[in-house]
Amino acid sequence: MYNQPMLKDDSLKGKTIVVTGGGTGLGRAMGTYFLKLGANLVITSRKLEVLQKTADEMAAETGAKVLAVQCDVRDYEQVENMLQKSIEKFGKVDGLLNNAAGNFISPTERLSANAFSSIIDIVLKGTVNCTLAFGKHWISQKQAANVLNIVTTYAFTGSAYVVPSACAKGGVLALTRSLAVEWGKYGIRTNAIAPGPFPTKGAWDRLLPGDLAEKFDFKNRVPLKRVGDNQELANLAAFLISDFSSYINGEVITIDGGEWLQGAGQMNGLEAIPTEMWDMLEQMTRSAKGS
């Protein structure tokens, strides 16, 4: 594993970036790296106490400025208010990282209509609310800007047992590709990252409760035989939110050690065949030539 910080110092200097769900997990990790690269950072979510603690710790670690703003992304007025507070503090906003999400595992037929909606509302509607409010602002100000959405690999494959999340993330992917074209003329780039397994408390408590974490060990699903390191994701996010990726627009970049492809290839299950068996199998397949 190579988890050194990637970009040169001050790569994000002068940029203000808003990270939704920035108080915990991957949002926190990406935000911390943006700060180290010289950005001004706004972190936002529902729990102000969590945000404030994270903001204080981030500022202590990096010496940079962090603003914590309470905002439920499901509520458009709160999103507009969060944008205003960010502008009041830093003068302008250059980047939006739509990272906030909700998820849990369940057979779909066990879900209430409200359970389904609760995930769609956070992930799809929340991303739409933030993107719309920020986009309107940037277009009216004639300001070039950057939207980065965190999806998942099952945004394009679908997945059983997380169907509301799969529907919502699929919608976010459609939003990414649509706006990349429509808002490109305003200098607004829109991209997405599809992470594979990066252990966080938020995701693991809801996707792998109890001993599922051992029984369903994600690293066994990954060709590289390990889960992701937060800095690997932070490097990619910083690149995509920076001007170094200025000609990348409408792209979704997968960072999963090859996980989803391993599940997709029809014969990939042959990985389970022990090396010593291949001589025998070769003989058998060669002898099938004349049949």
Instruction: Catalogue the active-site residues.
Output: 154
Which of 37, 42, 73, 241 touches ligand NAP by CB under 6 A? 73
How many residues appear in the chain?
291
Check residue 102 for interaction with ligand NAP (CB under 6 A): yes
Q: In whole angstroms, how close is the CB of 203 to ligand NAP at the nearest point?
A: 4
Question: Given the complex with ligand NAP, which of 59 and 139 has the nearer CB atom?
Answer: 59
Q: In whole angstroms, how close is the CB of 197 to ligand NAP at the nearest point?
A: 5
Which of 5, 72, 167, 219 touches ligand NAP by CB under 6 A? 72
CA nearest 251: which of 184, 186, 185?
A: 184
Check residue 25 for interaction with ligand NAP (CB under 6 A): yes
Q: Which does 104 bind (CB under 5 to 8 A by kind): ligand NAP, ligand HXC, none?
A: ligand HXC
Check residue 27 for interaction with ligand NAP (CB under 6 A): yes
Which of 12, 26, 35, 119 touches ligand NAP by CB under 6 A? 26
- Report the DSSP beta bridge partners of residue 45: 70
Which of 5, 46, 59, 187 touches ligand NAP by CB under 6 A? 46
Cα gap 108→163, rounded to integer Å: 7
Q: Which residue is nearest to ligand NAP (CB)?
A: 202
How far out from the chain centre does Cα 10 lie?
23
Q: In whole angstroms, how close is the CB of 165 to ligand HXC at the nearest point?
A: 6
- Report the DSSP beta bridge partners of residue 69: 44
Check residue 190 for interaction with ligand NAP (CB under 6 A): no
Hey, is 253 helix, strand or coil?
strand
Q: In whole angstroms, how close is the CB of 10 to ligand NAP at the nearest point?
A: 26
Q: In whole angstroms, how close is the CB of 74 to ligand NAP at the nearest point?
A: 5
What residue has token string 């057979």? 107
CB 241 within 8 A of CB 16: no
Q: Which does 20 bind (CB under 5 to 8 A by kind): ligand NAP, ligand HXC, none?
A: ligand NAP
Q: Report residue 6 as tokens.
A: 């990637």
CA nearest 101: which of 202, 208, 200?
A: 202
Q: In whole angstroms, how close is the CB of 274 to ligand NAP at the nearest point?
A: 30
Question: Binders of ligand NAP among 122-141, rule CB under 6 A?
Answer: 122, 126
Question: Given the complex with ligand HXC, which of 23 and 135 has the nearer CB atom?
Answer: 23
How far out from the chain centre does Cα 83 lie?
20
DSSP secondary structure letter of residue 80 = H
Cα gap 155→173, rounded to integer Å: 7
Sign of the CA dihedral running 83, 89, 92, 95:
negative
Q: Report residue 252 as tokens.
A: 């979704």
Cα gap 45→53, rounded to integer Å: 13
Cα gap 7→236, rounded to integer Å: 10
Q: Which does 222 bind (CB under 5 to 8 A by kind): ligand NAP, ligand HXC, none?
A: none
Question: Which spans of this chain sit near ligand HXC (rule: CB under 6 A)?
Answer: 101-104, 106, 111-112, 114-115, 118-119, 152, 165, 197, 202-203, 206-207
